[in-house]
Structure 1
Amino acid sequence: MSTRRLLMFCFGGSLAASVASAEELPPIPKGQGLGVASVSMVIALTCDIHYKRPQVVSDAKALFLKFARKELKDPESATERAFSTARRGVTRQSTKQYTKASCDQLGRMLRRELAR
């Protein structure tokens, strides 16, 4: 596994932990956007299943597309593939680790990153 990929997974894991426990989420580091956005999609889908937050899902998908446009040749299809993969990985059991407050924090972080 490459160092960049390992760092992406580490940051994604820390994002998931931050969503569950922090007051505000940190900004996304340069070069890690796609990894963070894909983790955000999974968390957003769990928030939508448990707390009915479709806007968070839309924002997470838009954030992935934003980073995909910078790094990939076919950003739209990459976004759809990532969303489909995220959707397959989310179950009702996985929704129990996120609270309403953590979903709100994720929503704020997504809106902040989309505004940049």
Structure 2
Amino acid sequence: MTAAEIVAALDGIRPTYVSETDLHAELADALTAVGHHVRREVRLSDGASRIDLLVDRVGIEVKVDGTWKAVAWQLLRYAKCDEIDELVLVTTRASHRVTYSHVVHKPVHVVVVTGGSL
């Protein structure tokens, strides 16, 4: 499974959610519906990080808040973990598009979802 396939599966999704955790669930359901095996809240090998979703070796981080700098630092931490080959940032904030296209030589894809909190 590649990040490009995950991005394609999430393209155009218009979630409705109350919390970030609800958004995790909606994204996991959408990916599962198209045949992806999704693991939630996966502890990573650095012993300190827990990524929101993991599909094969693609880590998916979900953000509804925070500065782009804080998000970039989080992605950097994840990219240093051996079990991650690519990252997908799913965010509700257009300002998060400022994050890097590669972190520690690992591709980062950004999906800005529209819809909104209930």
| Same fold at TM > 0.5 | no
- Structure richer in helix, relative to its length: 1
Higher relative contact order, chain-length normalized (CA < 8 Å, sep 6+): 1
- Structure richer in strand, relative to its length: 2
How does the TM-score come out when normalised to structure 2? 0.32
